[in-house]
Amino acid sequence: MVTMSTVPKIWTRETGLVEKRDLFAAMKRGFRGRCPRCGEGKLFRAFLKTADNCSVCDLDFTPHRADDLPAYLVIVIVGHIVVPTILWIETNYTTPVWLSFVAYLPFTFFASLGLLQPVKGAVVGLQWALRMHGFDDNPPDGIPPV
Ligand SMILES: [Zn+2]
């Protein structure tokens, strides 16, 4: 038996009639620290602080909600590089402990620092391309503003 819902629909046909944004291009622009829409303006005004808007196309960056996702992604990426490398080295070679600390810890530290801003930019680009949070210029009814 099929029952019809009386809940008002949020998504309408008009809501879906928006231009498609290129996800890969937006993430690549964000990874390079550029505006996900135009690829020209700077995305960051400090290390991890996004600018308020694009200096070229005036895209508002404030609706992004990257939160902790870039840090989690950096942990996954760096962990998948560091852990297998250390395991391979430690099982095949005998290295002194001091050399391990001098090599592994700085590499992990600087790789994490180096990836944090690009990954955050890519996350902002992803959110813009998928119209997440406040990046949707035609939001459906019933969703409160951010
Ligand atoms: Zn721009």
Please, what is the average pLDDT of the chain? 87
Give the integer Cα–Cα distance in Å for 144 and 146: 6
pTM of the entire structure? 0.81
SS (H, E, C) 77-93: HHHHHHHHHHHHHHHHC
pLDDT, tens digit, 9 for 90 and up, residues 64-78: 999 999 999 999 999
| 124 alpha carbon – ligand 1 mean position (Å) | 13
Report CA-CA distances (Å) from 87 to 37, 75, 114.
Answer: 41, 17, 23
pLDDT, tens digit, 9 for 90 and up, residues 81-98: 999 999 999 999 998 999
pLDDT at res. 2: 52
Rounding to the nearest 10 degrees, give the CA dihedral for residues 95, 96, 101, 104. -10
* All residues with CB under 5 Å from ion ligand 1: 35, 37-38, 41, 54, 56-57, 59
pLDDT at res. 61: 93
pLDDT at res. 135: 86
Average pLDDT of the segment spanning 127-144: 77
Identify the residue with better confidence: 20 or 29: 29
At 19, the pLDDT band (50, 70, 90 cuts) reads confident
